[in-house]
A = this chain, B = another copy of it.
Amino acid sequence: MSTFLERLDAACEASQSLVCVGLDPDPALMPVQDVFSFNKAIVDATHDLVCAYKPNLAFYEALGLAGLRALEQTIQHIRRVSPTAILIGDAKRGDIGNTAAAYAKALFEVWDFDAATVNPYLGGDAVEPFLAHSDRGAFILCRTSNPGARDFQDMMVANPGDAPRPLYQVVALRAMEWNRRGNVGLVVGATYPQELEQVRLLCPETPFLIPGIGSQAGDLEQSVRLGVDARGRLAIINSSRGIIYASRGRDYAEAARNATIKLRDAVNATLASEGHGW
C-alpha cells in the first residue's frame, strides 16, 4: 500500500500539475441547481489537469441531506474518472480524542477522502486520529488565508527554550513532532507570502495545501515560488471560485477547463523558471 506522500507525488506526476480544484457548490453562484450535475461537469472537464479535488463540507452541509448525497455521488464519480486524483475533505474538524476518532472515521471511511483538513486548537489528541494510517493525510491549519488569521495565529507566543514565535509557527513546529508516519501536511494561505516563506523554511519537506489564490487575491507566482519544496513539489495550489465559477453561464464546464489550464500553465511556468520540470 502506498503512503499518502507517494500517492500525492503520483497524482502530481500523472497530471503534471500542482493544481487542486475546490468543489464548493453555492446555489447563488451555480448556473445549474443540481449539485452533483454541476460537480460532475466540472470534474469531467478538469480531471486530466489536476492533482486533487477539495470539496469543502460546509457547502454540502448547508444543503442538508440532499447536499450530502451529492457529495457522496461526487466522490464516487471522481474515483471512477480519475484513478490518481487525491481527494481532500476540507472539513477543518477538531475535537477531543474519542470524538476526533469519529470525525476521522467519517472523513476517511464513510466519505473515503484521502486527506482531511484539521484544526489544531484542541491540541495533539484532536489531531492524532487523523494520522493513524500512513495512506491517509491530514493538513493541519497553520496560517489561514482569511483576514481573521491575524487575530490569534500571528500572536507572539513564549516558547520555552526558544525565542518567542508567532502562534502559526509554533503550530507548524508542533505538527512536525506529530509527524511520525510521514502524513502531516499544513494549510498555509497564499494571501500571506511572508508567512508562507517562513513556514516553508521551518518545514522543508512537508506538503502544503495553499488556498487563497484567485478570488482571495493571493499572488500566484510568489505563492508557487515560496510554497514548493526544493524539488518544486509538495505545494498543492487550490482554486475554488476562480475555476468553478469562471463562467456563470451554460459554458461553465468549458470555462472551468480553460481556467484550470491557465492556472496549471502559470504554475508550471513558475516552476520552470525556477528550474523544476516534470
Contacts and interface: CB of A to CB of B under 8 A. Distances in A.
Interface stretch (A34-42, A121-129, A198-206, A222-230): A121-129
Contacts of A148: 96-97, 122-127
A126 to B, nearest CB: 6
A10 interface: no
B167 A151 contact: no
Interface residues of A, number: 58
Interface stretch (A11-19, A61-69, A247-255, A268-276): A61-69
Nearest to A69: B65
Contacts of A99: 24, 56, 58-59
Q: How many chain copies does the complex carry?
A: 2
Contacts of A186: none
Interface stretch (A44-52, A78-86, A155-163): A155-163
Given A56-B99, A58-B103, A99-B58, A123 B164 contact: no
A76 B159 CA distance: 48
Contacts of A153: 121, 123
A59 to B, nearest CB: 5
Interface stretch (A1-9, A138-146, A258-266): A138-146
A130 to B, nearest CB: 12
A154 to B, nearest CB: 9
Nearest to A142: B121
Contacts of A152: 120-121, 123, 167, 170-171, 174
User: 6 closest A-B pairs (Cβ-Cβ)?
Assistant: A123-B148, A123-B151, A61-B106, A96-B146, A58-B102, A125-B148
22 contacts: A26-B98, A26-B102, A56-B102, A58-B102, A58-B103, A59-B102, A61-B103, A61-B106, A62-B106, A63-B110, A92-B94, A92-B119, A97-B148, A120-B151, A121-B141, A122-B144, A122-B146, A152-B170, A152-B174, A155-B158, A157-B167, A158-B164
